[in-house]
Structure 1
Amino acid sequence: MSDSAYGALYVVATPIGNLDDLSPRAARVLGEVAVIAAEDTRHSARLLRHLGLERPMLSLHEHNEAARVSQLAARLAAGDDVALISDAGTPLICDPGFVLVRELRDAGHRIVPVPGACALVAGLSAAGLPTDRFTFIGFLPAKGASRRARLEALAERDETLVCYESPHRIRDTLDDLATVLGERRVVLARELTKTFETFLDGSAEALLARLQEDPDQARGEFVVMVAGAPPRDESEQATLEADQLLAALLAEGVGVKQAAAVATRVLGGAKKAWYARAQALKDAD
């Protein structure tokens, strides 16, 4: 383990379902640290029993994380190694740990990642959606109006969108995806690595109908993956950029005639057409 006078904090990924996914390195670390900080000690005790390990544990969750920082910093300063685990998957990914890691790193303590299972990566790897770029948005807001507003803010993003969702909100989320994003391809990854692991693929509307027909498909935890916005038509994109230029000029107090002259020099085309467009934008304000 750590060979310095100070201990290290090991951020250890644990299985999201199948216990065989725990790496040998993670098992070794959990067996050697002085104490394990766990999101739910009762839940993590089952994992330790499966491994045949008995280690001291303390809880670290969203309600007590800030209060645990000084306690664990003292353990590290005394030379103890500490492991941080969540109930499932990689700590800090929609789980507690950010405050602890930030404060300990800022204080100069060594933070060591022990990688492993992560639901969003597992879902993406088997979804068949582009993964060269994606945006992970965690959990969408629980309330419908806020959820739709968040989706509307993301509607023009052209990379794959990924979020987590709970069984009691998955239908409402699919309904809002259909309303805001239309017919885009959606992949639901349910109960990853567990006995009833399922991937469902189709439009949000079609998937909602599938869940209504078979309520069992709405059980379990979900990774929701949505195809990015289709590329804009080039003429549509050019019009948008021209409008943005004209609007910026008008917002700075430039007159309609002068704004049209600038657009003509920068973008080409007929000055009369730019004048008419600039006037329309000004009248719309």
Structure 2
Amino acid sequence: MTWSIPLGPLVLPAQFLLLCLSAGLGLWLGERRARRAGGSVERELRWALLVGVVVARLAFVAQHREAYLAQPWSMFDIRDGGWSPWPGLAAAWFCGVMVTRRPSAKRRPVVLGLGVASTLWVVGVAGLLLASPSVQRLPAFSSLTMQGERVDLGQLTGQPTVINLWATWCPPCRREMPVLARAQAERPGVRFIFLNQGEAPATVARYLQAEGLDLRNVVLDLKAEVGRHYGSGGLPLTLFFDAQGRLQASRMGELSRATLQQHLQAIGVR
């Protein structure tokens, strides 16, 4: 199951909302503790949070720098979800300790805020992992490609498989499609399935022609069954299966070259 929470027209990954909740609660508790002593640590905690976020992003960019070199400005597009959480967490703690080194009266409220935020995030992520089924496999779903060929997803074992759930009306789906198309052309050892959700063949064909996308394995899911099977409330959703058909990673939201590369590593693709 892919955990996500709908907020009006938006569908946000549960881990992102967990991070916001953890940071917000830590900031509130730390500031509340400081105010009881007649002070304030809001500025210190905000700085620690900002430094943690920036370092988490920079660490991810450095790890996948080759994917960003072709389009350096894309490193500023955080919609791709590329973060390295542990360096960011370490940087937030380091900043929090340093900014309270001299005004030691602020140290306890800052440590309280960072401790609550860190603990809540770690426990929450662990809870989401434990709540997910231990082994998920390719769905028992059969449909037709745009060329009228029958495809049975449950039988697609033998090589790593990426299934992208998308629709022509979905802006992030459209933005990430060239990245996926390029990956399909460059990685013949990976099977890419473009599983359109709920649209007529003519609509899909017009979009592919207008965008000049030469994709293989464009499959129609007219009733959006696969999205419901994985508990997805929005698009795009990309699922990464190993050669044995076991789900190893998923991404709710837009992929960049770097985040695609990150998730391909989870299914043994280098």
TM-score (norm 1): 0.27
User: Which structure has the greater CA radius of gyration?
Assistant: 1
More helix by share: 2
TM-score (norm 2): 0.28
Q: Which structure has more RCO (C-alpha within 8 Å, separation ≥ 6)?
A: 2
